[in-house]
Chains A and B, each alone.
Chain A
Amino acid sequence: DAGVTQSPTHLIKTRGQQVTLRCSPKSGHDTVSWYQQALGQGPQFIFQYYEEEERQRGNFPDRFSGHQFPNYSSELNVNALLLGDSALYLCASRTSGGETQYFGPGTRLLVL
Chain B
Amino acid sequence: RKEVEQDPGPFNVPEGATVAFNCTYSNSASQSFFWYRQDCRKEPKLLMSVYSSGNEDGRFTAQLNRASQYISLLIRDSKLSDSATYLCVVNYNTDKLIFGTGTRLQVFP
Taking Cβ atoms with an 8 Å cutoff, the residues of A that contact B are 31, 33, 35, 40-45, 48, 55-56, 58, 90, 92, 94, 98-106, 108
Contact B94 A105 (CB under 8 A): no
Chain A neighbourhood of B101, CB < 8 A: 40-42
B71 to A: closest C-beta gap in Å: 14
Alpha-carbon distance A58/B95, docked complex (angstroms): 10
Contact B95 A90 (CB under 8 A): no
With A41-B101, A42-B4, A42-B100 already in contact, the answer to whether A55 and B42 are too (CB < 8 A) is: no
Q: Is B98 an interface residue (CB 8 A)?
A: yes
Chain B interface bracket (under 10, 10 to 19, 20 to 34, 35 or more): 20 to 34
Alpha-carbon distance A101/B97, docked complex (angstroms): 9
Chain B binding surface, main DSSP class = strand
Contact B97 A43 (CB under 8 A): yes
With A40-B8, A45-B98, A56-B95 already in contact, 4 other A-B pairs whose C-beta atoms are closer than 8 Å: A42-B102, A58-B96, A90-B44, A106-B43
Alpha-carbon distance A98/B102, docked complex (angstroms): 24
With A42-B101, A42-B102 already in contact, the answer to whether A48 and B43 are too (CB < 8 A) is: no
Alpha-carbon distance A58/B99, docked complex (angstroms): 13
Q: Is B32 an interface residue (CB 8 A)?
A: yes
Task: Across the interface, name the chain A residue whose C-beta is closest to B93.
Answer: A56
Contact A105 B46 (CB under 8 A): no
Chain A neighbourhood of B96, CB < 8 A: 33, 45, 48, 56, 58
Contact A42 B45 (CB under 8 A): no
Alpha-carbon distance A43/B96, docked complex (angstroms): 11
- Taking a contact as CB atoms closer than 8 A, the residue among B32, B43, B98, B102 that contacts A103 in the complex is B43
Chain B neighbourhood of A45, CB < 8 A: 96-98
Give me the 7 closest cross-chain CB pairs, A-B, nearest first: A42-B99, A103-B43, A56-B95, A48-B95, A45-B96, A43-B99, A42-B101
Which residues 56-109 of B sit at the A interface, judged by CB distance below 8 A? 87, 91, 93-102
Task: Across the interface, name the chain A residue whose C-beta is closest to B94.
Answer: A99
A57 to B: closest C-beta gap in Å: 9
Contact A33 B95 (CB under 8 A): yes
A41 to B: closest C-beta gap in Å: 5
